Amino acid sequence: MNRTAAVWHLCTAITGRLRNISTTAIDLALALHPTPAVGGVPTKAATELIAELEGDRGFYAGAVGWCDGRGDGHWVVSIRCAQLSADRRAALAHAGGGIVAESDPDDELEETTTKFATILTALGVEQ
């Protein structure tokens, strides 16, 4: 479990041994993006619909991380993020939730609002 000020997250570490030693952390990040949690399934149809409905997501739901010269690295999915303007006087912030057939819109709104508090706190926004 991983705790933020607003929510608890169930986290699952994934480990394994690569068949091809030349595979890098960035290769893995590209192969796993977008995750079903932010891209939907089936992948092609879901990502096309998201692009049509939402347009460019910018950094939201993207892979953020690093890869060193040996190919080692660490990547995460930016499910909550903010982009500051050049003058640092404005920010565009994003948060979302996974929608499935059984989702209740009111519950999803409440959950996303709670998750969004993490970003607002980081930006110093009074709530």
What's the pLDDT tens digit per position in 31-60? 989 988 888 889 999 999 999 999 998 888
Pairing status of strand 63-67 against strand 2-3: unpaired
Asked whether residue 3 is domain-assigned, the answer is no
51 and 67 assigned to the same domain: yes
* Owning domain of residue 40: 22-78
Q: For the chain, list the strands marked E by DSSP.
A: 2-3, 8-9, 63-67, 73-77, 80-84, 91-95
| Calpha distance 95→93 (Å, rounded) | 7
Asked whether residue 40 is domain-assigned, the answer is yes
For residue 44 the two structure tokens come to 């092609």
pLDDT at 70: 94
123 and 90 assigned to the same domain: yes
The model's pTM: 0.72
* Centroid of chain to Cα 97: 10
Low-confidence ranges of the chain (pLDDT < 70): none
Asked whether residue 6 is domain-assigned, the answer is no
In single-letter form, the type of residue at position 28 comes to L
